[in-house]
């Protein structure tokens, strides 16, 4: 038995808020549309998602993750550490974190209609998608 899921990541107070939904296939367009309707505590909306496939055999009680997609980021700008130093010179902690952790680049997403700005490592294989957060915030508040 095998099932596919999409996991949406939204900004949280200490850690990401995560919403997982079953999905028929790893359909990026469907996941983007579903992201428009996910709303977490304090009005947070997704900044990224990933697909996972879980499977189990008939003699297993619980399923396990057997496949995982890269992270799909909803919009944003990919910045190198040099970009951050040039464009956000006051972000000494962010710059230090990038250097200490060996992050070559990060993705910066300004969440529209909310106080959150998301900065996450942008790793090899990650995907940046075109996405309008203003329409997501509007639809999820309806």
141: pLDDT confidence band, cut at 50, 70 and 90? Answer: very low
Averaged pLDDT of the chain = 89
138: pLDDT confidence band, cut at 50, 70 and 90? Answer: very low
pLDDT tens-place string over residues 63-110: 999 999 999 999 999 999 999 999 999 999 999 999 999 999 999 987
What is the predicted pLDDT for the residue at 132? 80
Tell me how far CA of residue 6 lies from CA of 43, 96, 102, 133, 140, in angstroms.
20, 32, 28, 18, 18
Which sign does the torsion angle of CA 36, 40, 46, 50 carry? negative
User: What is the percent of the chain where pLDDT is above 70?
Assistant: 89
What is the predicted pLDDT for the residue at 130? 92
The two structure tokens encoding residue 134: 């203003």
**What are the b/e assignments for 45-59, b being 16+ CB within 10 Å?**
bbbbbbbbbbeeeee
pLDDT tens-place string over residues 53-65: 999 988 888 999 9
Q: Flag whether pLDDT at 131 surpasses 70.
A: yes
| Mean pLDDT, residues 4-17 | 93
């Amino acid at each position: 038995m095998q099932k596919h899921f999409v996991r949406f990541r939204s900004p949280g107070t200490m850690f990401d808020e995560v919403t997982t939904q079953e999905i028929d296939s790893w359909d990026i367009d469907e996941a983007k549309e579903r992201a428009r309707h996910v709303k977490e505590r304090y009005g947070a909306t997704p900044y990224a998602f990933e697909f996972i496939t879980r499977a189990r055999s008939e003699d297993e009680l619980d399923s396990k993750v057997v496949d995982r997609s890269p992270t799909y980021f909803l919009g944003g700008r990919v910045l190198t550490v040099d970009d951050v130093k040039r464009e956000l010179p006051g972000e000494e902690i962010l710059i230090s974190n990038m250097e200490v952790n060996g992050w070559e680049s990060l993705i910066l997403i300004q969440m529209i209609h909310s106080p959150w700005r998301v900065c996450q490592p942008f790793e090899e294989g990650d995907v940046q998608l075109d996405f309008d957060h203003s329409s997501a915030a509007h639809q999820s508040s309806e």
